[in-house]
Amino acid sequence: MEDYKVLLVKEHVFAENEVNADTVRKEFSENKKLLINVMSSPGSGKTTTLVRLIEMLPQYRIGVMECDIDADCDAKTITEHGGKSIQLHTGGMCHMDAQMTKQGLDELGMDDIDVCFIENVGNLVCPAEFDTGADINLTILSVPEGDDKPAKYPLMYEVSDVVLINKIDTLPVFDFDTELVKERIRKLNPDAVIFFVSSKTGEGFKDCITWLSNAIEQRRREHA
Amino acid sequence: MEDYKVLLVKEHVFAENEVNADTVRKEFSENKKLLINVMSSPGSGKTTTLVRLIEMLPQYRIGVMECDIDADCDAKTITEHGGKSIQLHTGGMCHMDAQMTKQGLDELGMDDIDVCFIENVGNLVCPAEFDTGADINLTILSVPEGDDKPAKYPLMYEVSDVVLINKIDTLPVFDFDTELVKERIRKLNPDAVIFFVSSKTGEGFKDCITWLSNAIEQRRREHA
């Protein structure tokens, strides 16, 4: 018996998505909880980052919807590290939408969590086009992928509120210009909050944790 | 004036795709030339690998269709290294299909090339679902992405004839099990040809170049 459930989610038509997304956002707002959509290429470190956040935020109960084409390993990793998790299978789909979020949330439940993350399908193109209903879009770009990714996949950076530049422990090994990547992101999205971190070593997470705690507390104070 | 042309390509309906793919394959076969579709996540090293292949195969004239959402830099890189290149813009689309290949080929031309590569959109999900008309599907997985990618994005590995495990110069920096990744790929696709390479240093390319030369020569001998 696993500690997480596996759910097959189906895509709804594009036109309905905005309505569903607003419904999801309203539910989180009314419950004074936060939903964060985590996006990146495959292998940028989404799961490792979520594990790091769970470890560094012991004062909050963290829920994670793990969205994969058909693997289960990430939900298992999250539960092993103390998060509450559900595994969503997209049945081959390349992104999450708001209806999938609703289906996942119905199973995961909101009562015993303070903040919920969606770990979207690893894909720098399609997830950017679909509103999941999240309050915050967070994109991870890892150093080995290169500092040119914002220029090549602009929509992802246009829709992202926060960008984590991950795997900074490998900066000596790769040609990656940290100033240039900031410039490229800010050109697409002047308001983007950018953190340089290593989910593997924990380096750089202090500011990120402060920002995240503030966002959770601010949501709690809304409509108070 | 640039050395390459930029073309906006449009998607056709899924049903037509197989017919278009067969038309493309027939044209390459009749001309005794080879079309290879290169796929990977963003930042796995598709362009760097193509530059390396151009350098190591001076006896062949190499064409490249660079397929990006809207950037032009990769076509420029290819022409600078002696390849013949065209830049295809998908207008936001997450993959290439066979009609796009036909449009690209009409512009690129086939007379003055021996082998043609499609550099597909960086995406480990959608390109696997669309036949581009290529003779060979080649997927690149880079070490920093992790050895679990075949398990998480199985269709890509099921449709791939050849897998290049790239950035092996960074093996000491990452937890990446080379035996396990082979096992995971072969479980999905027992016939997959696998090479371990570093496009940055050139390491491991000898066997890959032999395989590619043999494929080009075999195509030349067909129907001789």
Residue B188 sits at the chain A interface (C-beta within 8 Å): no
Residue A187 sits at the chain B interface (C-beta within 8 Å): no
For chain A, give percent helix, strand, coil, nearest 5: 40, 20, 40
What is the pLDDT, as a whole number, of residue A71? 79
- How far apart are the C-alpha atoms of A12 and A156, rounded to whole Å? 21
Q: Which band of pLDDT confidence, cut at 50, 70 and 90, is reported for residue A2? A: low
- How far apart are the C-alpha atoms of A22 and A222, rounded to whole Å? 17
CB pairs under 8 A between A and B: 103
Average pLDDT of span A171-199: 97
Cβ contact A10:A104 at 8 Å: no
Contacts of B56 (CB under 8 A, 6+ apart): B202, B205, B209
What is the pLDDT, as a whole number, of residue A150? 97
Average pLDDT of span A19-34: 96
Over 70: is that where the pLDDT of A224 sits? no
What is the pLDDT, as a whole number, of residue B1? 45
Dump pLDDT digits (tens) for A77-126: 999 999 999 999 888 889 999 999 999 999 999 999 999 999 999 999 99
Residue A204 sits at the chain B interface (C-beta within 8 Å): no
Q: What was the ipTM of the complex prediction?
A: 0.89
What is the pLDDT, as a whole number, of residue B12? 53
What is the pLDDT, as a whole number, of residue A101? 94
Which letter, b or e, does each residue of A116-137 get, where b requires 16 or more Cβ atoms within 10 Å of its Cβ? bbbbbbbbbbbbbbbbbbbbbb
Nearest to B41 among A43, A151, A173 (CB): A43
Question: Which chain A residues in 82-101 lie under 8 Å from chain B, judged by CB atoms?
Answer: 92, 94
Dump pLDDT digits (tens) for A124-135: 999 999 999 999
Residue A30 sits at the chain B interface (C-beta within 8 Å): no
- The sign of the torsion formed by the CA atoms of B153, A204, B173, A83 equals negative
- Do residue A123 and residue B124 have CB atoms under 8 angstroms apart? yes
Over 50: is that where the pLDDT of A1 sits? no
Spell out which residues of chain A touch residue B73, defining contact as CB-CB under 8 Å: 148, 151-152
- Do residue B42 and residue A124 have CB atoms under 8 angstroms apart? yes
What is the pLDDT, as a whole number, of residue A186? 97
How does pLDDT run along chain B (224 residues), one tens digit per residue? Answer: 456 666 665 555 667 899 999 999 999 999 999 999 999 999 999 999 999 999 999 999 999 999 988 778 899 999 999 999 999 988 888 999 999 999 999 999 999 999 999 999 999 999 999 999 999 999 999 999 999 999 999 999 999 999 999 999 999 999 999 999 999 999 999 999 999 999 999 999 999 999 999 999 999 998 65
Closest by CA position to B167, among listed B194, B135, B134, B202: B202
> Regarding predicted confidence, which is higher, B11 or A45?
A45
> Regarding predicted confidence, which is higher, B6 or A204?
A204
Percentage with pLDDT > 90 across chain A: 86
- Do residue A71 and residue B152 have CB atoms under 8 angstroms apart? yes
Cβ contact B183:B157 at 8 Å: no
